[in-house]
């Protein structure tokens, strides 16, 4: 299928499909004219990429993960022994980022609370 059909089937823009290709996540065939031709399996690959991005993984990590997962219904299941350890590391990275964001929010709350409070309507 051509890129327009791929966009329609996946809901991903042409720009993102090209980016996924640059990152090695997709490898469409090329016609002599240079047009990309996607296979049916590429639709599933894009869905996997989107799910892994939503899980907080980087495209570098996804490039390593894709060959090591298969789908069971709605779930992605690891099939490579060392993948789970790597995913645990990614989970820790995400947890640290969440902790950092929560600390930032707490500091911002302190600054906001120290500022002048808005006057409620009708209380003048």
Q: Which pLDDT score is estimated for 21? A: 95
Q: Which pLDDT score is estimated for 121? A: 72
* Gap between the Cα atoms of 31 and 58, Å rounded: 30
Q: Which pLDDT score is estimated for 70? A: 86
Q: Which pLDDT score is estimated for 73? A: 85
Q: Which pLDDT score is estimated for 123? A: 61
Which stretches in the chain have pLDDT values below 70? Answer: 122-124
Q: Which pLDDT score is estimated for 119? A: 79
Q: Is the dihedral of CA 100, 20, 42, 8 positive or negative?
A: positive
Q: Which pLDDT score is estimated for 30? A: 93
Q: Residues 6 or more apart from 51 whose CB is under 8 A from it?
A: 76
The pTM assigned to this predicted structure is: 0.75
| Adjacent-strand bridge partners of 78 | 69
Q: Which pLDDT score is estimated for 118? A: 81
Q: Which pLDDT score is estimated for 100? A: 98
């Amino acid at each position: 299928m051509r890129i327009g059909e791929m966009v329609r089937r996946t809901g991903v823009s042409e720009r993102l499909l090209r980016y996924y290709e640059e990152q090695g996540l997709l490898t469409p065939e090329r016609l002599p004219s240079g047009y990309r031709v996607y296979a049916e399996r590429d639709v599933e690959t894009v869905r996997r990429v989107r799910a892994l991005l939503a899980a907080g993984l980087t495209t570098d990590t996804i490039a390593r993960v894709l060959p090591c997962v298969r789908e069971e219904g709605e779930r992605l299941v690891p099939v490579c022994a060392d993948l789970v350890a790597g995913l645990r590391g990614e989970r820790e990275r995400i947890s640290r980022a969440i902790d950092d964001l929560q600390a930032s929010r707490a500091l911002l709350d302190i600054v906001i609370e120290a500022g002048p409070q808005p006057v409620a309507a009708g209380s003048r």
